[in-house]
């Protein structure tokens, strides 16, 4: 039972990480599988540790890293990533939940498509939150907050990817943080809506 919980938490953490940055969790798994004993990818996912795959992921990550830190460009990038991040989340959940890690030594057999689909929806949810939050951050900081927010998201993605593999229980804290971020976003958007309505009302009175 505990093993199944750890598998789900590992997959959840990696998929959520992909919602922030599609390439970081895949690159993390590939590098750790290739150069350490922290994760042992099953045969069906061993391609993640291939040198060419890692090189391509690193190049895509470099493009994403810079595009996501430029105001306006980041919003366009989020639209492009709407298909990429959920796909990466599905791959990350599928690979991570079926791998042997320092805490999961005997992953249970499961229908391979189920974790992939679950990972797609988790990553899509986190991606949606990130995409909705970025315009609010840009508008409230005149674009200055874009690189800061992007850097924080990248660091969170890296930490969550590593934590999901080494200490999956801590993924719960990230989930709680994402929930609070969603609540903040909803309240912020409602506040901005009320401000716009008040501004229009004041304009009509004038």
What does the alpha-carbon distance between residue 44 and residue 91 come to, in Å, rounded to a whole number? 11
Q: Which two tokens stand for residue 169?
A: 């229980």
- Please give the pLDDT value at position 83: 92
pLDDT tens-digit profile, the chain (206 residues): 666 788 889 999 999 999 999 999 999 999 999 999 999 998 889 999 999 999 999 999 999 999 998 888 888 888 889 999 999 999 999 998 888 887 776 676 666 788 899 999 999 999 998 888 888 777 777 767 788 888 988 999 999 999 999 998 889 888 888 788 777 767 776 776 676 666 666 655 54
Give the whole-angstrom CA distance, residue 26 versus residue 38.
14
Buried b (16+ CB within 10 A) or exposed e, 146-173: beebbeebbebbbebbbbbbebbeebee
Does pTM surpass 0.95? Answer: no
User: pLDDT value at position 111?
Assistant: 64
C-alpha 151/C-alpha 66 separation (Å) is: 10
Alpha-carbon distance of 101 to 38, in angstroms, equals: 6
Are the CB atoms for 29 and 158 separated by under 8 Å? no
């Amino acid at each position: 039972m505990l093993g199944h919980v750890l598998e789900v938490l590992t997959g959840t953490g990696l998929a959520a990480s992909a919602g922030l940055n599609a390439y970081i969790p895949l690159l993390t798994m590939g590098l750790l599988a290739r150069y350490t004993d922290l994760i042992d990818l099953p045969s069906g996912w061993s391609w993640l540790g291939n040198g060419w795959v890692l090189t391509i992921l690193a190049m895509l990550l470099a493009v994403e890293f810079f595009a996501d830190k430029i105001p306006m460009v980041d919003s366009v990038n989020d639209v492009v990533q709407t298909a990429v991040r959920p796909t990466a989340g599905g791959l990350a959940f599928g690979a991570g939940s079926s791998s042997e890690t320092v805490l999961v030594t005997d992953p249970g057999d499961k229908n391979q498509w189920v974790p992939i689909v679950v990972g797609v929806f988790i990553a899509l949810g986190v991606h949606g939150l990130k995409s909705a939050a970025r315009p609010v951050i840009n508008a409230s900081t005149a674009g200055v907050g874009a690189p800061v927010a992007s850097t924080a998201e990248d660091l969170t993605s890296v930490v969550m990817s590593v934590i999901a593999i080494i200490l999956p229980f801590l993924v719960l804290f990230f989930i709680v943080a994402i929930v609070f971020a969603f609540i903040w976003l909803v309240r912020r958007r409602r506040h901005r809506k009320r401000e716009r309505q008040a501004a229009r009302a004041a304009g009509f009175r004038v």
